[in-house]
């Protein structure tokens, strides 16, 4: 069985596990602390980062882009029959998402409004590109879910959690992306691709009192139920 070495709130890991879930491939997952990386992990991970995938042959694969390509090689593709050009386009749009995971992470950890707004502009530019690309129906490349959707899922899942808990909408002004986010979340893959305590750990880290989003001052349009909990206003 495939084994994933993971950190619980890492978006790069979620991209990999979401693909495994979408393809219904069995896997085992082991969690580590990035503050105290075990020696055995450093021995198999040249870059010292998660995810790492241990193949059934015991080979350690690293870098999420390489891992998802490997998974596509050993399992039937979600979009069979794509031409080389179409595959390249899907990889490019997947890369657009993955290279912004850390942008989203740093944005959510912003300590003040000015920093949040400055960093959020980069995400808005990204979501604006997707808004122009999406058809408005189904998923990114059509009626069937595919690799691009799995790459964007971590961004859209985290944006949804932030909106629900803090009232701040990263997708404001992008109705087509918002509808895509809804369809993706309705598949259940977001929950299946993370640990049971993922949302709790995520909120504790990104909506702590050290962040502007966690301070309760960020709400675009505060929701009554959110504010009653004290998580927002």
> Mind telling me the catalytic residues?
10
Contacts of 176 (CB under 8 A, 6+ apart): 130, 131, 134, 136
Q: Which residue intervals of the chain are DSSP H helices?
A: 11-22, 39-44, 64-74, 84-98, 101-108, 113-133, 147-166, 175-186, 189-192, 198-206, 224-229
Distance CA 12, CA 30 (A): 15
Distance CA 93, CA 131 (A): 13
């Amino acid at each position: 069985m495939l084994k994933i070495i993971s950190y619980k709130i890492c978006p790069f890991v979620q991209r990999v596990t979401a693909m495994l879930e979408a393809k219904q491939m069995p896997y085992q997952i082991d969690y580590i602390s990035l503050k105290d990386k075990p020696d055995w992990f450093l021995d198999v991970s040249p870059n010292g980062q998660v995810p790492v995938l241990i193949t059934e042959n015991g080979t350690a694969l690293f870098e999420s882009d390489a891992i998802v390509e490997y998974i596509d090689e050993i399992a039937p593709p979600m979009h069979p029959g794509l031409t080389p050009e179409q595959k390249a386009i899907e990889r490019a749009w997947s890369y657009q998402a993955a290279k912004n995971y850390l942008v989203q992470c740093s944005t959510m950890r912003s300590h003040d409004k000015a920093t949040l707004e400055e960093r959020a502009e980069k995400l808005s530019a990204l979501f604006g590109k997707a808004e122009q690309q999406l058809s408005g129906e189904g998923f990114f490349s059509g009626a069937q879910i595919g690799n691009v959707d799995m790459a964007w899922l971590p961004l859209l899942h985290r944006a949804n959690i932030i909106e629900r808990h803090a009232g701040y909408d990263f997708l404001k002004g992008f109705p087509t992306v918002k509808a895509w986010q809804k369809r993706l979340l309705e598949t259940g893959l977001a929950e299946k691709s993370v640990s049971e305590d993922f949302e709790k750990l995520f909120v504790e880290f990104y909506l702590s009192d050290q962040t502007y989003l966690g301070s309760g001052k960020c709400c675009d349009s505060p929701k009554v139920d959110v504010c009653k909990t004290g998580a927002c206003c």
